[in-house]
Amino acid sequence: MTAPDRPLLRVEDLQVHFPIKRGVFFDRTVGHVRAVDGVSLSIDRGTTYGLVGESGCGKSTLGRAVLRLVEPTAGRVEFDGTDVAALGGETLRRMRRRMQMVFQDPLGSLDPRQDVESLLSEPLRAHGLGGGKAGIAARIRELLDAVGLPAAALRRYPHEFSGGQRQRIGIARAIALEPDLLIADEPVSALDVSVQAQVVNLLEEIQERLGLTYLVIAHDLAVVRHISDVVGVMYLGSLVEQAPSDVLYDEPLHPYTRALMSAVPVPDPVVEERRERILLAGDLPSPADPPSGCRFHTRCPWRQETRCADEAPVLRELAPGHLVSCHWAEEIRDGVLRPRSPEEALHATAPSAEGPRPVEEDDGIFLGRDRPVPRQEQA
Amino acid sequence: MTIESLPPGSSPPGSSPPGSWPDGDAHRTDVPVLEVDDLTVTFTRRGEQATRAVDGISFSVTPGETIGLVGESGCGKSVTSLAVMGLLPRRGVRIGGSVRFDGQELVGADQRRLRALRGADMAMVFQDPLSSLNPVVPIGTQVTEVLLEHRGMSRREAADEATRLLDRVGIPDPTRRLKEYPHQLSGGMRQRALIAMALACSPRLLIADEPTTALDVTIQAQILELLRELVVDSGTALVMITHDLGVVAGLCDRVHVMYAGKIIETADRHELFARPRQPYTGGLLASVPRLDAGRGVPLTPIRGSARDAIPWAEGCAFAPRCDNAQDDCLTEVAGSTVPLEYDGPGRELRCRHPLEHPSVGAGATAAGAAR
Ligand SMILES: Nc1ncnc2c1ncn2[C@@H]1O[C@H](COP(=O)(O)OP(=O)(O)O)[C@@H](O)[C@H]1O
Ligand SMILES: Nc1ncnc2c1ncn2[C@@H]1O[C@H](COP(=O)(O)OP(=O)(O)O)[C@@H](O)[C@H]1O
Ligand code: SF4
Ligand code: SF4
Ligand SMILES: [Mg+2]
Ligand SMILES: [Mg+2]
């Protein structure tokens, strides 16, 4: 039984913590990497949810936890109304068939010793699908056709293909079992731009044709904007903002989203000259020891003296479908609060009443808004 | 003054929107720091067919100018930069043409002179800073060594200067960081350390080969800002090598687009993005999703991949992927391969059937022009 208006995937307060082991036998747990630390999201049937954020923020771990390739520490993953954690053995296997993954590096995920025919027939055989030799052969031809590879590809091995063609093989393999959900982890980031567009278009075309639901994980915001209906922005294991794609890009509310978007270069010199950049301080803090309060407060140009450092913001709905996790989102949206300038940031006192909290990777110097470059009239 | 005699980097009146970068103007002269002329690099590994990775490339950079070399992987960007720096192995590599730094020929120059230049006047930043930092030597020692060797400082002075440099590139707590080894720093931090080493001798030429490709966008923004500062403050001539058209749009004065070892189009960045003439350039621009374009704006990919290039001797290497291709794009018909030719002020083009732009005048967007 499927209920068409129920989200296909629902993730509730998902946590994945990896133990950090030390000692001669790596037998002492000295802490935990909080790779995913309480994420909730849901994806409607036939839509694409894009997950963005800097490397190390937990995107891949979240995708893997959905597929139960890694066991969640806490929380719930519900696929088509079923709690995935409750499944085991045959039922888990059947559920996995309906959720497939496309990886960044198809070479790493395709067995180099198998030719394309064997790569594509393997999943069919394993699940007893395709209906005999002739059926499987027909299905494979259909798959090749769907991803735009010639029949001659069947006898060739992964290394004989270009990156884009390998990604097509990866996609063919992922859709071989007619899944409902496709999790694509950085599906185009290893590809050249001209080829990226081919694969993006292919993913969109296949989604339309097969009515697939996508979770697309990528660090490239432009790709994600292009492909997604809803976008979630992750920072240090948590979702900081979520909104319909166009809304998020037109009016980002969370300071991190704003900084992220202002940092993405646009291939247009006119736009590049006019834009203001919000430069962030330093690198991502360690997910093993995330900052107190708002996790972004060590780098946030809008950080306030109160609340930011000692009170964790929750994800709130500011407009229909637009969720933000920032204490000051309204004030930032309305322009009441301004990002601090680099000078102010340098001389700002510690925000917390308990005294300054030492932050490993905090630079200090890039904090705040970039000064606009003065323009000179052309003689 | 005729339009043709305008110095490089300035644009002919009315051809591009006002407001080109003021960057480095104070340092600008017309005298190139680096002149690369008809550079060829051929790999001749024994038992294998010789491959020509760089096939007759010419470009120049003046002080305070930033030029971009763009193209997809394998088009010869890194090999070009290594050849310029004299970093290619001598064995199994044939280099032709000329590379002049300050008028002095570098091709065939002896290693000792190259090494002296590399430390002091020309520097290079790579995509992977780990490969160019010594893993067993603390960052501080690596920076101070450059200063000791090329700026003749005392140990004491060099240590102070190293701290100052690390601070300048935004490495927090520099005194502590100086004692750390490369692996103890994050990727962004390592790249900044490498830039600090490049800054150590205020090089007149910096070649940056995909310096931000492995980094997150927020870190990329920091690094690009540093490079801009370097160009403005020191008048360094910057050669930016990248596959990212967004980076080019924000950083480079002049852009050379490469394909299969050759430059196929050269233009001022405003011109290039507003009016790409080479079908490959146009195709690249139509392929990239833009952050400021709405959802559902279709992408128009180039078909095939760079692997489909045919040898230039047989015609235009891009022909198998080109929508404008006609018979005369192949040498059997045309007699010789497609030459790089003058295509208006500041522009050069290698194409027999270029894209036309009827809406000449400011405001034509790249996306509109390319699609
Ligand atoms: N198997 C693992 N064991 C320990 N730590 C891990 C493991 N997988 C990922 N991590 C850590 O979890 C964090 C999130 O990683 P990941 O999900 O890969 O991020 P992203 O995909 O956003 O780059 C990182 O700090 C990473 O080092
Ligand atoms: N050491 C080498 N031996 C043989 N071929 C090489 C070597 N280094 C690079 N090449 C070839 O030269 C071409 C250009 O490479 P490269 O300059 O690295 O491209 P890019 O930097 O534009 O991605 C590629 O086809 C590559 O395979
Ligand atoms: S809660 Fe405070 S520190 Fe966090 S994003 Fe909002 S303003 Fe910045
Ligand atoms: S020369 Fe011919 S094949 Fe080459 S880019 Fe121009 S039109 Fe296309
Ligand atoms: Mg990942
Ligand atoms: Mg390269």
User: At residue A347, does pLDDT exceed 90?
Assistant: no
Q: Which residues of B touch A47 (CB under 8 A)?
A: none
* Tens-digit pLDDT profile for residues A134-187: 889 999 999 999 999 999 999 999 999 988 999 999 999 999 999 999 999 999
**B69 within ligand 2 shell (Cβ under 6 A):** no
**B322 within ligand 4 shell (Cβ under 6 A):** yes
Span B80-109, average pLDDT? 94
Residue type, A11: V
Q: Would you call A280 an interface residue with chain B, using a CB distance cutoff of 8 Å?
A: yes
**In chain A, domain spans:** 1-98+177-250, 251-378
* Confidence band, pLDDT 50/70/90 cuts, at residue B214: confident
User: At residue B128, does pLDDT exceed 80?
Assistant: no
User: At residue B7, does pLDDT exceed 50?
Assistant: no
Instruction: Determine contact, residues A291/A359, Cβ cutoff 8 Å.
Output: yes
**Cβ contact B73–A226 (<8 Å):** no
Dihedral, CA of residue A20, residue A286, residue B223 and residue B275, to nearest 10: 90
Q: Which spans in chain A are helix H?
A: 59-66, 89-97, 106-109, 116-126, 132-147, 163-175, 193-210, 221-227, 245-250, 255-263, 269-274, 329-333, 342-347
Q: How far is B155 from chain A (nearest CA, A)?
A: 27
Number of the ligand 2 atom closest to the C-alpha atom of B261 = 14
pLDDT of residue B197: 84
Distance CA A118, CA A124 (A): 10
Residue type, A91: T
Distance CA A202, CA A170 (A): 12
User: At residue A342, does pLDDT exceed 50?
Assistant: no
User: At residue B132, does pLDDT exceed 50?
Assistant: yes
Poorest-pLDDT segment among A184-188, A350-354, B63-67, B238-242: A350-354
CA B18 to chain centre: 24
**Cβ contact A267–B307 (<8 Å):** no
pLDDT of residue A352: 36
- On whether the pTM is more than 0.95, the answer is no
Scan residues 198-237 of A and list those with Cβ closer than 8 Å to B. 198, 200-201, 219, 221-223, 225-226, 228-229
Interface test with B, best of A149, A161, A194 (most B CBs within 10 A): A194
pLDDT of residue A39: 97
**Cβ contact B19–A197 (<8 Å):** no
CA B43 to chain centre: 21
Neighbours of ion ligand 5 (CB under 5 A): A 60
Q: Is the dihedral of CA A299, A305, A310, A313 positive or negative?
A: negative
Q: How far is A70 from chain B (nearest CA, A)?
A: 25
Q: How far is B201 from chain A (nearest CA, A)?
A: 23
- Neighbouring CB atoms inside 10 A of A142's CB total 11
pLDDT of residue A55: 87
Whether domain A1-98+177-250 has CATH 3.40.50.300? yes
Distance CA B144, CA B160 (A): 9
* Confidence band, pLDDT 50/70/90 cuts, at residue B152: confident
* Confidence band, pLDDT 50/70/90 cuts, at residue B1: very low
**Residue nearest atom 1 of ligand 3, based on CA coordinates:** A326
The alpha carbon of B209 and the centre of ligand 6 are apart by a number of angstroms equal to 7
**B309 within ligand 4 shell (Cβ under 6 A):** no
The alpha carbon of B261 and the centre of ligand 2 are apart by a number of angstroms equal to 9
Q: How far is A94 from chain B (nearest CA, A)?
A: 34
* Tens-digit pLDDT profile for residues B20-51: 444 455 666 789 999 999 999 999 988 888 99
- Percent of chain B at pLDDT exceeding 70: 88
pLDDT of residue B32: 96
Number of the ligand 4 atom closest to the C-alpha atom of B324 = 7
Span B12-20, average pLDDT? 40
Distance CA A26, CA A30 (A): 10
- Percent of chain A at pLDDT exceeding 90: 66
User: At residue A360, does pLDDT exceed 70?
Assistant: no
The burial class, CB within 10 Å (0-12 / 13-18 / 19+), for A358 is exposed
* Tens-digit pLDDT profile for residues B165-211: 888 787 878 888 889 998 888 887 888 888 888 878 789 999 999 99
Q: How far is B169 from chain A (nearest CA, A)?
A: 9
Instruction: Determine contact, residues A154/A117, Cβ cutoff 8 Å.
Output: yes
Q: What is the mean pLDDT of chain A?
A: 86
Distance CA B280, CA B259 (A): 8
Q: Is the dihedral of CA A353, A359, A365, A368 positive or negative?
A: negative
**Residue nearest atom 1 of ligand 1, based on CA coordinates:** A18
- Which of B265, B367, B191 lies closest to A266, judged by CA? B367
Q: How far is A89 from chain B (nearest CA, A)?
A: 39
pLDDT of residue A348: 52
* Tens-digit pLDDT profile for residues B294-331: 777 789 999 999 989 999 999 999 999 999 999 999 99
**Cβ contact A282–B246 (<8 Å):** no
**Residue nearest atom 16 of ligand 2, based on CA coordinates:** B76
Poorest-pLDDT segment among A282-291, B199-208, B246-255: A282-291
Nearest to B221 among A193, A277, A378 (CB): A277
pLDDT of residue B26: 63
Span A25-50, average pLDDT? 92
* Confidence band, pLDDT 50/70/90 cuts, at residue B363: very low
Instruction: Determine contact, residues B329/B338, Cβ cutoff 8 Å.
Output: yes
User: At residue A71, does pLDDT exceed 80?
Assistant: yes
Distance CA A189, CA B226 (A): 25
Which among B45, B55, B78, B127 is the best mutation to test ligand 2's pocket, defined by most ligand atoms within 8 Å of the CB? B78
Residue B19 tokens read as 């407001």
The alpha carbon of B248 and the centre of ligand 6 are apart by a number of angstroms equal to 15
- Beta-sheet strands, E only, within chain B: 34-43, 51-61, 66-70, 93-101, 104-105, 122-125, 205-209, 237-242, 254-259, 262-268, 341-342, 348-349
Q: What is the mean pLDDT of chain B?
A: 86
Longest dimension (CA), chain A: 76
Q: Which residues of A touch B193 (CB under 8 A)?
A: none
Q: What are phi and psi of A296, to 5 degrees?
A: -90, 0
User: At residue A355, does pLDDT exceed 60?
Assistant: no
**Cβ contact B303–A266 (<8 Å):** no
**A282 within ligand 1 shell (Cβ under 6 A):** no
pLDDT of residue B193: 86
Q: Which residues of A touch B222 (CB under 8 A)?
A: 279-280, 366
Number of the ligand 3 atom closest to the C-alpha atom of A294 = 4
pLDDT of residue A3: 60
Residue B268 tokens read as 């001022």
**Residue nearest atom 14 of ligand 1, based on CA coordinates:** A58
pLDDT of residue B231: 92
pLDDT of residue A369: 25
Q: Which of A153-157, A211-215, A364-368 has the highest mean pLDDT?
A: A211-215
**Cβ contact B72–A362 (<8 Å):** no
- A295 CB-near residues (< 8 Å, 6+ apart): A235, A236, A237, A238, A285, A312
pLDDT of residue A366: 28
User: At residue A98, does pLDDT exceed 80?
Assistant: yes
* Tens-digit pLDDT profile for residues A101-148: 998 877 778 888 999 999 999 989 888 877 788 889 999 999 999 999
Q: Is the dihedral of CA B180, B186, B190, B193 positive or negative?
A: negative
pLDDT of residue A332: 94
**A16 within ligand 1 shell (Cβ under 6 A):** no
Q: Would you call B284 an interface residue with chain A, using a CB distance cutoff of 8 Å?
A: yes
Q: Would you call B357 an interface residue with chain A, using a CB distance cutoff of 8 Å?
A: no
- Neighbouring CB atoms inside 10 A of A276's CB total 11
* Tens-digit pLDDT profile for residues A236-263: 999 999 999 999 999 999 999 999 999 9
